[in-house]
Amino acid sequence: MLSIAQDLSLALDPDEVFFRCVGGKADPWQSRVMEGFVAGSWHKAAWITGRQQGKSALSSVLVLIQSLWVCPGGVSILLAPSQRQSAALMAMVTKFYRALTGGEGRTEADDLESESKLSITLAN
């Protein structure tokens, strides 16, 4: 479980959230996307990059930032072209949530309520 100070620190530093989730530093383009997202300067985006450049990892981190700090209680939707890709993306979100929270949940109010191959529900 994260302390209040750790929770506030993560809420203000998306690069640290990315580092804790992914286990490495964000690329400069990923940092710019996260900063714009957290600042609220955009809500839709298209990323034109090559394969294996971290788009799924960034999307997974952004949905966690959205769900935990930007709009708790809201609904976030991640879309993928196939069910296999959707399941892989949700597995990444769940893995990153556990890495971010130490597997125990951020706080009692924000604990992982339910999960399946295609969705997760937080208590908030």
- 40 sits in the region (left: phi over 0; alpha: psi -120 to 50; else beta) called left
Summarize the confidence of residues 55-76 as an average pLDDT: 87
pLDDT surpassing 90 at residue 124: no
What integer best gives the mean pLDDT of the chain? 82
87 near 94, Cβ under 8 Å? Answer: no
Least confident window among 7-11, 44-48, 90-94, 110-114: 110-114
Structure confidence at residue 69 (pLDDT): 84
The three-class DSSP label of residue 96 is helix
pLDDT surpassing 60 at residue 107: no
Instruction: Tell me what percent of the residues of the chain surpass a pLDDT of 70.
Output: 89
Tell me the per-residue pLDDT of 14-46, one tens digit each, with 9 for 90 and over.
999 999 999 999 999 999 989 888 877 776 777
Structure confidence at residue 118 (pLDDT): 78
CA distance 6 to 4: 5
